[in-house]
Structure 1
């Protein structure tokens, strides 16, 4: 029994730790990240030459669950020139942190200081924090910064704070003594924030993580199912992977990250029951995620395309009107 549990744990870990690349998108992202890193590092390796006056920027946007963070960290963690990326207590020329919520210029500066390994023991004023940020970046050799969840800025900062944050980021990019490259990632609304300052937008390149759609992405999703089941040594009947793909795409609302999570959870059910992967395992995985009734489970319902999959505890295919409100297109009795 212990040996069986160990095998199950190993198989599950193999699946969870698997990275699923989207060939063209990941190639483009890897290329843009490499460009950003190489240009940023050239600032410290000019050997008496003329370093770039401005650092590059990269904007990566996509819906929640699209796989942005996973893809970025996968690429950064394997970049040959970013040794020690993500290793606590070790120096690396690129650091990463999440934009806090709520976001102010002061809070953003404090989080950036923490990302450089600097412990904040008191409550310094905003201008002091940003002076410390610039000193720490030079002292630790940081030439590139990844700020994830950047939509927290657009959602929680007021208009004055947003303008101040934008101006500060611009000053990092074109600092005369130590320009710092920026990789910003978040929801699509971040695009409007960056476009609000043409000077910042000019310095940025952009990549959008689009949603998966059927039938175009069915073969790709089928390959993901096959790859993950093989990692877990979980039997998958021939043809099943592409048969389940359209329902998977709909259940995940087109988000690659959520889609992979559902597959991993379904494989977990199959492994625990020592069964070949089947649609029942996906039905159970989705039910556990959403606590929905079987009639609105995309892996159980016949008319699964009509199900609104963004709700928890759902009992009907479409969103019910709020109490006291008539259905869309209807009239209150």
Structure 2
């Protein structure tokens, strides 16, 4: 095991011990629910979009491997885009960590990763993004290193660590909202320079909001190399079975039933409350299960969802604004997942 992996393992163990202490200070009922929530959070419900993502990524990887057999050719870029709450981060993280072609390589010094993944939390200058990438790969560089030096040497640094793929999550933060055309072209050229390195072309995977597509548009050569997968909203009633499967699979983890809701309008209300976003649907189901566990119930009810929605919005005490309680819920404006629209509910 490398020193980097050993340090990460020690940190993980220390954090587990730390939060076990936090959990121990919670009420007994909360400790029981925490145990249940850990089981719920471990559930990932696959669907057609995961198949589409895997197929698109495999096609992309096929072309990259063929590129390596022809050293003068260049690597493409892969883009996964979708609205906030679509579940992009979980889906791409699960794909990369579980893909057989990306498994770490055993060496006499431990396991060496084939890819690195970073998550941008806000706009960061390209130099700092480059530093984060090479450091995640285990290559140390000084903070004073210039932007040109970081990106110009990145392919060689990653080659020395055996890393051929770089994943950047929340990649829309690569660009400022008011980025000029020259800013876009400069960043696109920096990424392109690493992707077309003749000795070690690096494969880039970008996931984030659709704004990230502003990157390739700034350079038609990067656009030409783009591979794109988009996570659309959950369509209702066409994908009602997906919502029911989410309810069933997540509830099964803690022995809480949901089959009795199949012939009700709960799945439609749930999708509506979550703005038809996959990850938000899962988030609300998790919240409803949390309430059911607190009440020690064996089956989900509308009430569990109504309370879960209240806790994640400003709908407390306003039943006409709660899509799990309002009679004319279809008339509510979507987007009141976190805030309440002042407009009154309308008849459906």
Structure 1 residues 121 and 299, CA gap change in structure 2 (3 angstroms): same
Could you give the per-residue CA deviations for residues 66-101 of structure 1, whole angstroms, max 9, x where no partner exists? 01111001111111122249xxx9521111112452
Offset at residue 151 of structure 1 (A)? 1.0
Q: 269, 283, 286: which is aligned to 2:309?
A: 286
User: How do 1:11-90 and structure 2 match up within 5 A?
Assistant: 11-23=36-48, 25-40=49-64, 46=69, 50-51=70-71, 53-84=73-104
CA distance in 1: counterparts of 2:74 and 2:33, whole angstroms: 51
CA distance in 2: counterparts of 1:317 and 1:103, whole angstroms: 38
CA distance in 1: counterparts of 2:78 and 2:339, whole angstroms: 38
User: How do 1:123-134 and structure 2 match up within 5 A?
Assistant: 123-134=144-155
Equivalent residue number for residue 13 of structure 2: none
Offset at residue 178 of structure 1 (A)? 0.9
Query: What SS class does the counterpart of residue 261 from structure 1 fall into?
Result: helix
CA distance in 2: counterparts of 1:100 and 1:135, whole angstroms: 27
Structure 1 residues 5 and 291, CA gap change in structure 2 (3 angstroms): closer
Structure 1 residues 137 and 43, CA gap change in structure 2 (3 angstroms): farther
Query: What SS class does the counterpart of residue 80 from structure 2 fall into?
Result: strand
Unaligned 5+ segments in structure 1 are 320-333
Q: Give the count of matched residue pairs.
A: 310
Offset at residue 239 of structure 1 (A)? 3.5
Equivalent residue number for residue 211 of structure 1: 233
Q: With structure 1 as the length reference, what TM-score do the two structures score?
A: 0.84
Q: 250, 270, 287: which is aligned to 1:248?
A: 270
Equivalent residue number for residue 187 of structure 2: 165
Q: 291, 299, 316: which is aligned to 2:342?
A: 316
CA distance in 2: counterparts of 1:241 and 1:222, whole angstroms: 10
Query: What SS class does the counterpart of residue 207 from structure 2 fall into?
Result: strand
| Larger deviation, residues 299-308 vs 240-249 | 240-249
Is 1:109 aligned to 2:130, yes or no? yes
Offset at residue 124 of structure 1 (A)? 1.8
Aligned-pair Cα RMSD in Å = 2.7
Q: With structure 2 as the length reference, what TM-score do the two structures score?
A: 0.80
Is 1:188 aligned to 2:210, yes or no? yes
Offset at residue 10 of structure 1 (A)? 3.8
1:218 touches 1:242 (CA, 8 Å); kept in 2?
no
| Larger deviation, residues 236-245 vs 95-104 | 236-245
| Larger deviation, residues 130-139 vs 258-267 | 130-139
1:57 touches 1:205 (CA, 8 Å); kept in 2?
yes
1:82 touches 1:94 (CA, 8 Å); kept in 2?
yes
Is 1:232 aligned to 2:257, yes or no? no
Structure 1 residues 149 and 165, CA gap change in structure 2 (3 angstroms): same
Equivalent residue number for residue 271 of structure 1: 293
1:56 touches 1:182 (CA, 8 Å); kept in 2?
yes
Offset at residue 249 of structure 1 (A)? 0.9
Query: What SS class does the counterpart of residue 81 from structure 2 fall into?
Result: strand
